[in-house]
Each structure stands twice: as C-alpha cells, then as structure tokens.
Chains A and B, each alone.
Chain A
Amino acid sequence: MKTRYTFGGDEHIHVEMDEEMSLDAFFKSLSMSNAVRDADIPGVTEICPANASFQVKFDPDVTHPDDMLKRVQELEHMAESAEKRLSTRIIEIPVYYQDPWTHETVMRFRERHQDPSGTDLEYAARINGFDSVEAFIEAHHAQPWFVSMVGFVAGLPFLYQLVERDKQLQVPKYLRPRTDTPKLTVGYGGCFSCIYSVRGAGGYQMFGITPMPIYDPEQKVSHLKDFMVFFRPGDIVKWAPINRAEYDRIIAAVEAGTYAPRIAEVDFDLEEFNADMAGTNAKLMEALNGA
C-alpha cells in the first residue's frame, strides 16, 4: 500500500491510499481525513473521504498549495499509527429483491446490458459462479457491509462487504449507463453495492429496492428529521430480505411517520475482524438482533 499525493487543479489535494480496494486502505483514508479535519488547517473548505482515497478542497489564497500539501503529508504518520477502531452503528436495511419496479427498469434498458437475454441478477449470479439467483441473493445479504463512501449524488452510500476477498461479489457496470433508475434501488458495480438515494441516471446492476428512505431534503421522514442524509462513512449495514407484503407494510409505516430503522451502536476493530471475520460478524449481528 503506497500513498500517492496529487493536485486536482489549484483548489484540491487528492490522496490515494492504494490503487486497489481493501478495508485497510479505507481505514487509513478515513483516519487520515479525520486527522486533516482535526488539524483545522486554514483555508480547508471540504474534506471528502472515499473508498481508498480522500480529497481536500481548499482556498489557495489562504494557504499556498505547496504548503497545504506539506501540512496534509505530515499527518500521514498519524493515520498509520491510529487505532483501526471505529465506534459506529449497524443498521438493518430491508431489501425487496427482484421487485417489480427495478425489474421494469431492468427490462427497459436491456440493450445497454452485457446480457440482453436475462436479468441483472441472473447475469450477476452466473458470472460469480452461483447455481441460482436465490443463492446469489443469499450471498449478497448473508454478511454485513461497510459504508466506505457517501457520494456520487446526494446521500448515496457505497458499500463494501465484510468477507474475504475471494468471497467478494464482483459485477461490471452496464455497458452504457441507463438514463433512469428507481429511487432506493439497491445496485451493484465493481465490488460495491449502493442504494440510489434519488431517481436518475445510473450504471450499476439492479438487484432490488428498499422501502426505507435515506435522503429527504424536506426532513419530514421520522428518521431523517435531524439531518436530510442518513448515511455516514463507517456505518455498517445488514441487508434483510423482505417480500411484497413486508415492503408495503414498511412503506405505510414510513408514510404514517412510525417507521424506525433497527440500529445498534457497535465498535468495529479492523485487526479483530481480519483475525476472525466470522466471529466479528456474528458479534455485529448479535448487537443488531438485540436492538
């Protein structure tokens, strides 16, 4: 893992922890971006952590780009020695897999897909070596996921599964991006899952939909009253498969203002996880199921 520093024009510093995705690169990126925030360097206006990199936006009239680069580089040792431990939360996100709305969209954009004769899930299951769509769906929700980045558009989480690399699911993006994706679609591209926070263009494969709102600029939804964006980098997510009846029940509860997502406070320790993934995930699930 070798850190690479570069300028993005005269107002950004881009720091890449690693070319490839890993939880180590994510943790280092998150702790270093936190160190930059804590350092309170004059002129810094935005700090954006991503999967295996982060970016600092600054005003070069306040701090010269060369000085800003030096200040950021000096913080790397702090990120290296930082405990890879996070006090965070685990959230259960209900998913209606193979729902009618994403299915309609899947069929509408078939000519932009690698396999126009099937569905996104059939394609994803096949190229990942699963015998059935059901077995693939099971692999998608069996183990929890890490929110490794929030962005693209308002409040959209990128998620990385907490499993060994050889168990990671990998799926290419559409050959050409769609012009439409239903709001709250659960998607997949590369090694990342995502939830489309708003309706719009998209290139990720579509697996299902969640009834749980994750972005509400009007802040009317009960769990988004404090802030319009639900996710933060470092959140842990467990997908929970639901059927149509359950989907409809949650939609009604959201509308009535009575829906409360299942959430538990947890600590996540990367070294503990690397030493015993199954055990760590079981503990996370225990906390969630006790909530």
Chain B
Amino acid sequence: MALKIIKPGLSTSIQDLGRPGYFHLGIPIGGAMDRFAMRAANMLVGNPEDAAALEAVFMGPEIEFTEDVVVAVTGAEMPMSVDGEAVEGWSSFAVNAGQTLSFGFLKSGARIYIAVSGGIATDPDLGSRSTYPIGALGGIEGRPIAEGDVIPVGKAEQSPVGRSVSAALRRGPSNPAELRVLPGLYWNRLTEAAGQGFFDDTWTVAPEADRMGYRFKGGRALEFVDREQPFGAGADPSNIVDGCYSYGSIQVPGGTEPIVLHRDAVSGGGYFTLGAIISADMDLIGQLQPNTPVKFLKVDMDQALAARAERHAGLQKIREELA
C-alpha cells in the first residue's frame, strides 16, 4: 500500500513526533511543527498519535493512492478535493485506489498534516521517521518528498470514516498572534527598558521562517547591559560563550531581529537568548505565515504549566469526542 507523489508541493516532509535523545550531538528532536494538529489527524484515521504523516507548508501536494485508505487533513485551512470532489479538513474520509487528493490555495495558517490510515511506513533513523534534511535523516533519503516518490504505508488496525473534530476543539493562532514567553536564560543581558520594549512592541513574522526557526522583525532594537565581554564570547554584546539552545528559545543576534528556534533547531551557538516560548505555544508558531503580526506575552512558570495542562486537556477532549 502506498502513496504516489504526483506533485510534491513546496516543502512537504514526512514527520512524526521526533527523535529525542540526540540533541547533545547536534541532532534535533524534529517532528511535526504543529504536534496538536498532527495528533488530531492521526486520531481521526485511527492511528497511534505518534504515527508518521505528511507535513506540507503553504502549498499542498498532489497524491495518488494505490489502495483504499482513510485520510484526514488537519492544521491550516486549505480547500481540498478527491478526484475533484471537495472534502473537509479535520475530518476522516475514504479514498479509493487510483484516486487523487489535491489542494487549493492556503486560506489561513501555514502547515497541513495529512494522515493516512496505517501511517507512513518509511524506514526510521534513530527511532524516528521525521525528515531532518541537514543531517540527511528520516523521510526518504533524508529529504523532503519529491515528484515520483512512492511512499509506503503500514497496515491499518481500523479505518474510521466520517469522523470529525468539532470546530471548538481545533486550535490555531489568533490574528495578531499571541505567543507566551517565559523570560529566563540570558534575560539578564537586557536593560530593563529593552526587556519592556520587547513585550510592548508588535513584531511581524519575517520571510526567514522554517522548521529550524522563525525570525521576527519590526520591533525596536534591544539594548544590552554594559559589560566587558567574557573571554571566548566574541566582541558583540549579543555574544556569549557558545552554549546549548533550548527549543523555543529566543535569540536576538545584534539585538535587532528575534529568532525563535523550533523543532529542527541548531543545538547551540554563541548568541544570548532572552527566554523561551512556552511549550504549549510551540504548535501555534508552526501555523504562522510571513507578515503575520505577533505580540509576545510575558508569563511566569505557573502560567506556563497551566497553559500546558490546558493544551493536554484540549487533546483529551478530541480523544473523547472520537472515541
């Protein structure tokens, strides 16, 4: 059983929930940018939530199916059809052998997740099928999918059709988007006014936004507390002795454009970080298009953990709805 890729889309890759355990060697966890949406897509087609699916950004692929399967597409809003007949997002539908799934133009959000009953069954690398092109790991030969690829699919335990996640249980960013930040890491490098300005200003998503990180622009430049730079750090006040980066951490090279590291993050480097996006809001970043206005909201650890619990509860409600 397989998917035949007629058109690959812009940068469509095989992703699951990633490969933890190798960040100390520079190999990031990877996996779906919007894990909430990918879990929901797998639930809809009766897969384990960590099954591998396709993640497509901005533009959908065109896929021909070689056998009967059940499919669900979640995440961004993008019209789609099977052999020209419209089908709904956040719902499971049957596709027969020989039929083709294709997509229209993106309406909102950035990434769709295409789950297929049985899950994508390419060979895992280091315990995951997630595609990490820099390290040539996962996916097909470590790269995004290409025209003509034939992607194997596993055997489905169950294939429920006609299920859907009700609109109230779906999750995506607001506009302007709000991303919650726990200040920390090298926050102490900023002056008080710079720290305040970071949260007061409205930023927009820059064109340089991918699986490694999202860049933002438009806010005021950040000022640093004066110091003699430590030995080995480098001359710029935004430099530190190269250290590890947290997922979601916000670095601001030269104090000008913040970069939030995402699932395919570099594991370390020499720029100060002012804190990190809380774990509950990482999914939302994966749905931001360039030029989207963004406000960073300052939270404390209790608020971060409450948001995390709320996200867990949201997924639990979907599980119950589909049970």
Contact = CB atoms under 8 A, between A and B. Distances in A.
Interface of A: 6-12, 14, 16, 18-22, 45-55, 57, 60-61, 64-66, 149-156, 158, 160, 165, 170, 172-173, 189-192, 197-198, 200, 215, 217-218, 229, 233
Most chain A Cβ neighbours within 10 Å, of B25, B125, B182, B185: B25
Contacts, number: 182
A48 B268 contact: yes
Contacts of B235: 172
Interface residues of B, number: 50
B276 A50 contact: no
A45 B312 CA distance: 19
15 contacts: A9-B276, A14-B244, A50-B268, A53-B243, A54-B244, A57-B247, A65-B301, A150-B26, A151-B267, A153-B26, A154-B27, A172-B235, A173-B270, A190-B234, A197-B26
Contacts of A155: 25-27, 135
Contact of A9 (B25, B230, B239, B275): B275
Contact of A156 (B23, B26, B233, B239): B26
Contacts of A218: 136
B209 interface: no
Given A10-B305, A21-B230, A190-B233, A151 B244 contact: yes
Given A12-B247, A14-B185, 9 more contacts: A8-B249, A8-B276, A12-B246, A50-B268, A57-B246, A57-B247, A60-B308, A152-B242, A217-B142
B293 to A, nearest CB: 22
A167 to B, nearest CB: 13
A7 B182 contact: yes
Nearest to B227: A19
Contact of A217 (B125, B267, B269): B125
Interface of B: 20-21, 23-27, 125, 132, 134-137, 142, 182, 184-185, 187, 230-235, 239-244, 246-249, 266-270, 273, 275-279, 301, 304-305, 308, 312
A22 B279 CA distance: 33
Given A7-B182, A153-B134, A158 B242 contact: yes
A78 to B, nearest CB: 19
A173 B234 contact: yes
B232 A57 contact: no
B243 A189 contact: no
Given A200-B134, A217-B135, A9 B267 contact: no
Given A153-B134, A156-B26, A190-B234, A11 B244 contact: no
Contact of A153 (B135, B184, B234, B273): B135
Given A9-B248, A45-B21, A152-B269, A21 B305 contact: no
B84 to A, nearest CB: 40
A155 B23 CA distance: 10
Given A154-B135, A190-B241, A51 B232 contact: yes
A9 B246 contact: yes
A204 B315 CA distance: 44
Nearest to A37: B24
Q: Count chain B CB atoms within 10 A of each CB in A149, A170, A218 and give the residue with the most.
A: A149
A9 B278 contact: yes
Contact of A154 (B26, B182, B233): B26
